[in-house]
Amino acid sequence: MTDGGRKKVASALAPLQLSGEHHLCPGCGHPVAWRLLLEVIAELQLAGRAIGVVGHGCYTNIVQLADIDFLQCLHGRAPAVATGVKRVQPEAAVFTLQGDGDVASEGLAEVLHAAARGERITTIMLNNGVFGDTGGQMTAASVIGQRTKTSLDGRDAETHGYPVPVADLVASLAGSAYVARGSVNHAGSIAQTKRYMKRAFELAVGGVGFTFVEVLTMCPTGWFLPTADGPGYLDGTFEQTYPLGVLKDCR
């Protein structure tokens, strides 16, 4: 976009974004992930065939803010619901948007079976390792040592068990075509994550199989950290447990 010869890096609103107002906390990583998702859908010209199936979490608000068809569904069940949608609308670009509580805790069975079946859908899992929407409790993806309201002294493997690396599990299944893990805490990782999302949509829409992008996002509120410390905490803790990169690419 140009304006009097000056080049604008980005407009305030992402493509397909209906409003700039949201209820998310300062420092939250979700809006960055939303933007990437909408940019990818717009750039792949999928707006007129996209159907989003959204789980329960802070990110649920996207169903109000984005100008694409959305079905907000029960906690954890989005991959099963999206399967029903895709099987009767095979031309649609069907994706789920879920958090780590939605995928790793409540809905682990649903995502793994959808992957195993090779459903031609994309699951975007926003992983901040905490139930943000309910105020900061431990999820199955919380990392060892992470303090939450239900692991006050930090997640301890002896007491709370180990975090579930969902992306690795999905990658191990023959039905998954593409699995990648990105983050939104640095400009470089944001650009990389967008490329992951784009590839994931291309392959699912192209009928190759189930695609999965995990996005590590900041939740300074749920991490009980000063807002500005979110990106650094992600580097220092989450990325140790959840290394970034492409875990699987069918081609």
Partner 1 sequence: MTARLLQGSDAVARSAIEAGCRFFAGYPMLPFTDLLESMARLMPAVDGVCMNAESEIEAVNMALGAGAAGARAATGSCGQGIALMQEAIAEAALNEVPFVVFNMARGQQDYFQATRGGGWGDYRTLCLAPKDVSEAVEHTQLLFHLADRYRAPVMMYGDYLISHTYMSVEVERRDYGPRPAKDWALDGRRGGTGRSRQIWTWAMGKANDPGPGPDRHWQRIAEKFDDMGRVESRWEAERCDDAETVVVSFGTAAAFVEQVVAELREDGLRVGAFRPVSLWPFPEAALAEACASASQVLVFEVNAGQMIDDVRLSIGRRIPVRPLGRVSIDFSGMRQGEILTVPWIRDRVRAAVKEVAVK
**Site residues for partner 1 per CB under 8 A:** 16, 18-19, 21, 41-42, 46-51, 53, 63-74, 77, 80-89, 92-93, 109-110, 113
State in angstroms the smallest separation of the CB of 86 from partner 1: 8
State in angstroms the smallest separation of the CB of 130 from partner 1: 23
| Residue among 107 and 231 whose Cβ is closer to partner 1 | 107
Torsion region of 21: left, alpha or beta (phi above 0 gives left; psi -120 to 50 gives alpha): beta
Rounded to whole angstroms, the Cα distance separating 154 from 148 reads: 7
State in angstroms the smallest separation of the CB of 156 from partner 1: 31
| Residue among 81 and 104 whose Cβ is closer to partner 1 | 81
Residue pair 173/206 in contact (Cβ under 8 Å)? The answer is no
| Residue among 20 and 232 whose Cβ is closer to partner 1 | 20
The CA–CA distances, whole Å, from 142 to 57, 146, 190, 211 equal: 15, 6, 22, 23
| Residue among 87 and 186 whose Cβ is closer to partner 1 | 87
Q: In 3-state terms, what secondary structure has residue 104?
A: helix
Q: Of 222, 225, 198, nearest to 211 (Cα)?
A: 198
Rounded to whole angstroms, the Cα distance separating 61 from 50 reads: 17
State in angstroms the smallest separation of the CB of 233 from partner 1: 31
| Residue among 70 and 196 whose Cβ is closer to partner 1 | 70
State in angstroms the smallest separation of the CB of 118 from partner 1: 13
Residue pair 58/26 in contact (Cβ under 8 Å)? The answer is no
